[in-house]
Amino acid sequence: MKSLICNLKSNLTFEEILNYKKNLENLEVPNLIVCPPFCYLPIMHSKKFLIGAQDVSEFGNGPYTGKVSARMLKSFDTFCVLLNHIELKNKRNKVLAKLKKCLKAKLNVYLFLSETKDEHNYQYTNKVLQEQIHYYLKDLKKEDYKLISFIYEPSWLIGLESLESNEINTIITNLKEELENTYQHSFNVLYGGGVDENLIQKLKNSNVDGFAIGNNCLDINKVIKIINILKN
């Protein structure tokens, strides 16, 4: 089954998150990653799915009020961290600092990539995404590559409809091929942005390695439908 990341963002009360977890634990769901708000991470441990953090501090442990370090996340078996989400508006050097902290702690990273609408319209998407990837990978050791996956999420479409399924598959297929040629490593590339049951139905047999879901994952019934599509 393809990977499925549920980014719960800043949602759900304590009682709601417990009920959400209970519903998921009634399912057999390989490759499911749930990313709750920081305060719920410890209670979301489960044998049925993995947990991920929505972000991480660019600093290590120290006098950084309100920050959560990579070492802290690793200490209670957080599987991964989402980095570079468009909502956070992080500059590249800050994202790179976070990435290096995660790799040092041996945390898996899912790194969001995007382009502008003009870059997409002028068919520069692949070039722009590769340039972003090169910035983050250029000083890393090859052994770190196995901890890194990418999520293509066109930021100019957030809150709108998704790209057409054929276009998504073409972009991700080309990107994966060029990455393998450049870095001699098979990176996983997922898709995010307007992901719903219909899109996943169209892409479940494609070269897309998985999906990152935002608002649609708040409805547990939609999540169950998506899981059933991916399993069948």
Task: Kindly report, residue by residue over 117-126, the tens digit of the pLDDT.
Answer: 999 998 999 9
Q: Is the pLDDT of residue 69 over 90?
A: yes
Measured CA to CA, the distance from residue 11 to residue 228 in angstroms comes to 24
Q: Is the pLDDT of residue 4 over 70?
A: yes
Going from N- to C-terminal start, the domains of the chain cover 3-231
- Report pTM: 0.96
Measured CA to CA, the distance from residue 84 to residue 108 in angstroms comes to 14
Residue 49 DSSP code: S
* Residue labelled with tokens 């769901």: 29
Torsion sign, CA atoms 104, 139, 114, 194: negative
Measured CA to CA, the distance from residue 156 to residue 47 in angstroms comes to 36
Summarize the confidence of residues 38-44 as an average pLDDT. Answer: 97
Q: Is the pLDDT of residue 160 over 70?
A: no
Summarize the confidence of residues 118-145 as an average pLDDT. Answer: 95
- The count of C-alpha atoms lying within 13 angstroms of the C-alpha of 144, restricted to the half-sphere facing its C-beta, is 17
Name the strand (E) or helix (H) holding 130.
Answer: helix 125-137
Contact 179, 185 (CB under 8 A): yes
Task: Give me the pLDDT at residue 156, please.
Answer: 84
Summarize the confidence of residues 19-46 as an average pLDDT. Answer: 94
Assigned architecture for domain 3-231: Alpha-Beta Barrel (3.20)
